């Protein structure tokens, strides 16, 4: 590693810098610990979307890429706004090094002068975390910047045999108190910025090296299944949901068929039809209404079981609907709302336009494939089996009304 590592000085006025800044996420399909980890649903969204959303909303990059060898990862990354670099399978092996995969990407995009590698498995990156390293490189002349977390950990090293040890970063006779010690900086792997010139020398860090210090709560790396629930808790509390997600939700609309119900019609021996719903889902609707959010339902059916759902929930419901987006538009106009104040949860092709039109489209886990691609929140539960409650909790969380009853 070349040069000295220093932190960023205070902001200065912008300087002209016409270099092409490109962000890239390396996302191969062959993860062994968690299969297809990069697109597994984390807190309602594909894992890769958390890093992509932050990179896009940072508005600091000239291009944003996902390098992958897997068609499904490519498709989902494209839905979330990334350009796709089709990685040579030779560089998508278990034995492929990070430097090899990054070099292969860079060789395919000679227009990029400064590369930012964002770790897909570190979903707590925010736009402002990415803007600052760009500023440091443009204004302060850094050649490379990487993310670190400060830790207060006493390190010991092996000394000889029989488990003998020696202190590395402390004097055991004068152990410092935490508040009297600045701690040490550790790479957390969230992101690395570096120039093409450094990469051509086989380096990701070199020249004038800077660091960006992140608070510990943002430093999470998903490697095994044990890391997943921890990451989900952190993302729910500290994650970046996107600048376009308005926290002032006023109207939440749910399709009945396959969302409120489980999309199955049961027939008795007498030929009577009935459907089932989940009591927890209906409680979620009640919680939204208690928080002052208008809840309405739509259905393509008009049978008595559908009408019963409307009566049971006490929600305004429109049945026998052929154009759900038209109905949604009428409700938005009648209530004097903006589209970003609306959420919509659907499960089939007829729901896609309404989902895309609303400020936040959602889908159950068993929704049709195209519907899941269009969604910006995907429940881990199926329709009629808790998906609605998960989305209701998400709405209350982003609206800051989670604890209100």
C-alpha 171/C-alpha 333 separation (Å) is: 70
Q: Are 368 and 347 in contact (CB under 8 A)?
A: yes
Apex 247 CA angle, 65 and 130, nearest 5: 30
C-alpha 255/C-alpha 276 separation (Å) is: 14
Active site amino acids: 175
Neighbours of 206 (CB within 10 A): 18
Which has the closest alpha carbon to 342: 386, 275, 294? Answer: 294
3-state secondary structure 18-70: CCCEEEEEECCCCCCCCCCHHHCEECCEEHHHHHHHHHHHHCCCCEEEEEECC
Handedness of CA 252, 256, 262, 268 (dihedral sign): positive
Structure tokens at 40: 């597994």
| Diameter of the chain measured on Cα atoms | 85
- Residues in CB range of 400: below 8 A, 6 or more apart: 247
């Amino acid at each position: 590693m070349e040069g000295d590592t220093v932190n960023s000085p205070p902001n200065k006025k912008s300087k002209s810098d016409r270099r092409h800044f490109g962000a890239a996420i390396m996302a191969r399909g062959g993860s062994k610990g968690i299969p297809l980890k990069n697109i597994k649903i984390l807190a309602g969204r594909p894992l890769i979307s958390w890093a992509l959303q932050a990179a896009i909303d940072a508005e600091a990059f000239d291009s944003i890429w996902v390098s992958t060898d897997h068609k499904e990862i490519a498709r989902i990354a494209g839905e979330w706004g990334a350009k796709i670099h089709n990685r040579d399978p030779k560089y998508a092996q278990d034995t492929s090094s990070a430097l090899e995969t990054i070099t292969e990407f860079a060789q395919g995009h000679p227009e990029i002068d400064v590369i930012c590698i964002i770790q897909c498995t570190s979903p707590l990156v925010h736009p402002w975390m990415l803007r600052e390293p760009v500023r440091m490189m443009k204004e302060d002349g850094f050649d490379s910047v990487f993310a670190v977390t400060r830790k207060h950990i006493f390190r010991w090293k092996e000394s000889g045999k029989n488990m003998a040890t020696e202190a590395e970063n402390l004097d055991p006779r004068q152990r410092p108190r935490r508040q009297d010690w600045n701690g040490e900086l550790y790479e957390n792997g969230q992101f690395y910025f570096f120039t093409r010139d450094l990469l051509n020398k086989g380096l990701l860090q070199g020249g004038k090296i800077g660091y960006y210090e992140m608070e510990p709560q943002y430093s999470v790396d998903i490697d095994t299944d044990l890391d997943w629930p921890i990451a989900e808790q952190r993302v729910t509390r500290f994650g970046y949901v996107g600048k376009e997600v308005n926290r002032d939700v006023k109207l939440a609309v749910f399709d009945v068929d396959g969302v409120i119900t489980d999309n199955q019609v049961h027939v008795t021996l007498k030929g009577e039809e009935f459907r089932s719903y989940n009591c927890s889902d209906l409680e979620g609707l009640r919680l939204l209404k208690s928080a002052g959010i208008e809840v309405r339902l739509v259905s393509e059916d008009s049978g008595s079981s559908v009408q019963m759902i409307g009566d049971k929930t006490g929600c305004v419901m429109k049945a026998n609907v052929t154009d759900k987006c038209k109905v949604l538009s009428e409700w938005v106009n009648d209530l004097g709302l903006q589209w970003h104040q609306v959420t919509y949860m659907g499960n089939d092709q007829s729901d896609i336009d309404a989902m895309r039109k609303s400020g936040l489209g959602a889908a159950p886990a068993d929704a049709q494939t195209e519907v899941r691609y269009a969604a910006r929140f995907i429940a881990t539960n199926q329709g009629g089996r808790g998906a609605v409650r998960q989305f209701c909790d998400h709405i209350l969380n982003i609206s800051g009304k989670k604890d209100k009853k």
